[in-house]
Amino acid sequence: MNRIALVAARELRAERRQPDGIVAATTFIAVLVLLESLVVGPVIARDADVAAALFWIALAFATILTTMRSFDRELEDDALDALVALPGGRDALFGGKVLALTAMLLLVAAVGGILSLVLLDLPLALPIHLAIVVLFGVVALPPVVIVDVILALRLRARAALVPILALPVLVPQLVAATRGASAALVGDDVGALSWAGLLFAFAVVYAVLGLTIVPAAIE
Amino acid sequence: MIETTLERGVGLRIRPWLGIAAAASFVVASFMALIWAPADAVQGEVYRIIYVHVPSAWLAYLAFVVVFLASVGWLWSRRPLFDAIAVASAEIGVLFTGLALVAGSIWAKPTWGVWWTWEPRLVTTAVMFVMYVGYLLLRGLSTDFQRRATRAAILGVILVIDVPIVHLSVLWANSLHQLPTVLRAAGGPALDSSMLLTLMVSVAAFTLVYAYFMSARVAIELVRQERLWIRT
């Protein structure tokens, strides 16, 4: 647990010194929110289902961007081999990255979410429910993406391969997060909490799966 | 290496018989599907495409479960044969998934009025197809044998989660797709006995075709491993 916390703290420190992952992800979401309104028009963009779907698709891509940037940094600094060589380093690498990226993505989701609410003038019937859905939705994303980034590590065409591997696996999470956020926006409290529960289950399943099989994937 | 040669020898002896059995069963299945089985009371002749669509879908499930088992086998033992089985089964699974999607689409146009509709079974099957194309892509981009096999095996273990999701999607959500008619939780198959027999013969024929393809593809992969990877 200590090692996981150390890796997470190190990751957050590196991102604070050079916040290119968070900046890229936040800018990406902001651009997509603006584009949505311009492309489909303000009336359709205000629809809770449309806004929620676009937000979560954007956040999935933002997760891929941030995770790839995180591992690129390790490779640029030749830090990955040293980290993996430590006792328990592989588990710590996965766990630490999941924790740190979740924290970063919560920030990105908060900024992107506020931008969506303000710029699209979305109705917000259940703010606390929406916060719970966003929290569990964000927690459910990094374990899957980290596994896929590790599988594609040091491969050519990695930038194209990671979305191809990650997005189909993320479909259930994206559906649940979209339905949950949409339910919170329109005031369906039972729907929002049910989808949030499902997202939490996804997060637990993929985190356990990641901790079980990722050590074998890291060379 | 001796083991690999032995395995290839066994495969070589079985393959011609598998090919003959597959071809013969395919002829029988085609006769039963096109001539012997009666037309459907509601759908007429168009329903006959189920004799291609359903076996393709079932064989795709089987192929991806074999990928999963072979992936576990590789992670457990690091025997190259398991990696060869995994790649062979993944390729054949993608082929059968594509066939199921195309056959389903051809049936959907006269029955539902559209080639494609956004309903759970179709979407989850398309997602499964894309997932395993990604699996093959991952393999294609890796240059080191051990790493390629390990990465692919881990992905093969993860991706199998989609197989039960595809099968149960029609029960979990409101679906336009037909509910299970053969493997039903409540009671036996809801299908005329001659139609059921024809479907079972078609499934057997497709299974033999799968076994034949597997035998040929695994042999090719073992030779490729020996020449390209294991010697380097």
Say whether pLDDT at B24 is over 90. Answer: yes
The verdict on ipTM greater than 0.95 is no
Q: What is the distance in angstroms between the Cα of A149 and the nearest Cα belonging to chain B?
A: 11
Q: Which residues of chain A have pLDDT under 70?
A: 218-219
In this prediction, residue A114 carries a pLDDT of 92
pLDDT of residue A184: 93
Q: How far is B142 from chain A (nearest CA, A)?
A: 6
Separation between Cα atoms, residue A147 and residue A174, nearest integer Å:
17
pLDDT score at B165: 85
H helical segments located in chain B:
2-31, 50-77, 80-112, 120-141, 145-159, 162-172, 193-224
The number of folded domains in chain A is 1
Q: Tell me which residue in B134, B137, B154 faces A213 most closely, judged by beta carbons.
A: B154
Task: Test B134 with A157 for CB contact under 8 angstroms.
Answer: no
Nearest CA in chain A to B76: A216
Q: Count of CB contacts below 8 A, A vs B?
A: 50
pLDDT one-digit tens code per residue, B129-185 = 999 999 999 888 877 888 889 989 999 998 998 888 888 877 766 666 776 666 666
Give the structural domain span for A176: 2-217
On average, the pLDDT of chain B sits at: 85
Nearest Cα of chain B lies from the Cα of A16 at a distance, in angstroms, of 32
| pLDDT per position as a tens digit, A81-127 | 777 777 777 778 888 889 999 999 999 999 999 988 888 888 888 89
Measured between beta carbons, the chain A residues lying within 8 angstroms of B141 are 152, 155-157, 161
* C-alpha to C-alpha distance for A118 and A111, rounded to whole angstroms: 11
Residue B12 has pLDDT above 70, yes or no: no
**Does A175 touch chain B if contact means CB atoms closer than 8 Å?**
no
Domain limits of chain B? 2-179+199-230
Cβ–Cβ under 8 Å, residues A2 and A92: no
**Would you call B134 and A161 a contact, using CB atoms and an 8 Å cutoff?**
yes
Confidence of residue B103 (pLDDT cuts 50, 70, 90): very high
- Name the residue among A151, A171, A219 with its Cβ closest to that of B138: A151
Tell me, yes or no, if A156 comes closer than 8 A to chain B by beta carbon. yes
Q: Which residues does chain A have within 8 Å of residue B118's beta carbon, measured at their own beta carbons? A: none
Confidence of residue B211 (pLDDT cuts 50, 70, 90): very high
Q: Among A155, A169, A209, select the one facing B141 at the smallest CB separation.
A: A155
Q: Cα A84–A86–A91 angle (5° rounding)? A: 60
Check CB contact under 8 Å for B131 and A169: yes
CA A173 to chain centre: 11
Q: Looking at residue B42, what DSSP letter applies?
A: T
Q: Among A149, A154, A164, which would you mutate to test the B interface (most chain B Cβ atoms within 10 Å of its Cβ)?
A: A164
pLDDT exceeds cutoff 60 at B231:
no
A1 in reach of chain B (CB within 8 A): no
Q: How confident is the model at residue B27 (pLDDT cuts 50, 70, 90)?
A: very high
